Amino acid sequence: MILSLVGFAVLLGLIFVGVPLGFALMFVGLVGFAYVRADMVGQALVGWGDAGLELNTRAVNGALVMTGQQMYDQVANYGLTVIPLFVLMGAFIHRSQLAQELYDAANAFLGHRRGGLAMGTVAACGGFAAVCGSSLATAATISKVAMPSMRRYGYADSLSTGVIAAGGTLGIMIPPSVPMVIYGLLSETDIAKLFVAGIVPGILLILLFFAAITILTTANPDIGPKGEYVPWPERFRLLLKVWGVVVIFAVIIGGIYLGIFTPTEAAGIGVATSALFAAGRGKLGFTALRESLVETGITTGMIFVIAFGATIFSNFVNLAGFTSSISNWLIASEFSALGIVVAICVLYLIMGCVFDSLAMLILTVPIFAAILKPMGVDMVWFGIIAVIAVELGLITPPVGINVFVVKSAVPDVSIWTVFRGVWPFVAAMVIALVVVLLLPGTATLLPSMMGR
């Protein structure tokens, strides 16, 4: 247990000095695993006698073999093919320039209300997330589309940037979602059910964001003035322009829900559908195709490096007794299953101040699944809880990756302005978390009605 805590401390130190997360995880996991393996047979790694040296060499070799095996297992995992496919689908959708049309359609229905442009931004984020699956891509894309309009109508920068950063988090809640795929693989939970389970909580988050905007603009109308009224014929014309989002989402989620194809097959169909959509718009020439493939390769490589590192680090902390110690403590404390889940949520909120979403899930899901499954906890329900908690980490300091993405897209706004703007939406997400915790049916109803 103590060695595990030392490992976490060293890991945090490496991250703060600028070592990339994936490589920091690999290094600490490799060294820690070798140390524990040597120590378990009676020799510390620092021994310098002939017997100690031989033992240490064997321990290091064992750690290297474990590292190579974990990397191979990750790469050979058929289920992980979903990740590059969904990333590529998002790249094609991004190059289709659909975001502007989504924003225009959402604002046509909502923009004439007080705070309507901000609500339209949330709706556009939800629509884009439904065919993208990436919080970072959603926040970066909508920033470029929404900020000029909100500034033109006199919206406060804090509200504008805050709503974009918060709306971007919908990318990992509304399916398809790469973090849900990773959670499903690590916890051995049906990915199709996870995708479907995210629909109602995703809609709930959108409505709570609307409520937060309404409260803010009612208290201070100057931060979110009304926009122009759009006649109904024009609203429907703009709505018809985003038919591609509806078709792609319906094909992927409808096919999964009805049991027509698996999530992996859905990812392939999604890529083909989004490619045809982009090509039909004349947005998928050779250059765009090459850029999409390169972007997908870079993003997938980043995800896999973090996955490699987190798996190696998890092996170290498991061997060092961290998982068993936590399990024994929870059992001895006699917490209820709900109490343990609440404690895990608090831990996620703390970890979100340091780690990104993928690292948190990869590091913790195997440990938490080993604790929760014997207690009979519904892992689909817990998956949605975990994703909401991880979403909170995307917009809370000091990391708040979505906040930094918005800051990079709007460089003339201070980072503290963005953080100030996201706090009302943090509160809305906490409410959503509590609702799903207390009413599990919000996450489990649709999966229970699936066609398979």
Alpha helices in 255-414 (DSSP H): 255-257, 263-280, 286-319, 322-333, 337-351, 357-372, 379-393, 401-409
What is the per-residue pLDDT for 50?
47
Structure tokens at 383: 């998956």
DSSP 69-111: HHHHHHHT-GGGGHHHHHHHHHHHHHHTTHHHHHHHHHHHHHT
CA gap 388, 441 in Å, rounded: 15
Which pLDDT score is estimated for 55? 55
Chain segment 305-336, per-residue pLDDT in tens = 888 887 888 888 878 877 777 767 766 777 78
Integer CA distances (angstroms), 410 to 146, 156, 217, in order: 11, 13, 22
Cβ pair 112, 297 in contact under 8 A: no
- Helices 199-219, 116-132: crossing angle, 10 deg rounding: 160
CA distance 37 to 129: 44
**What pLDDT score does 188 carry?**
87
Give the chain's residues under pLDDT 70.
1, 39-56, 133, 327, 330-331, 354, 399, 451-452
Q: How far apart are the C-alpha atoms of 399 and 106, rounded to whole Å?
A: 30
Model pLDDT, residue 44: 45
Residue 106 and residue 163 in contact, taking contact as beta carbons nearer than 8 Å: no
Provide the pLDDT for residue 56: 66
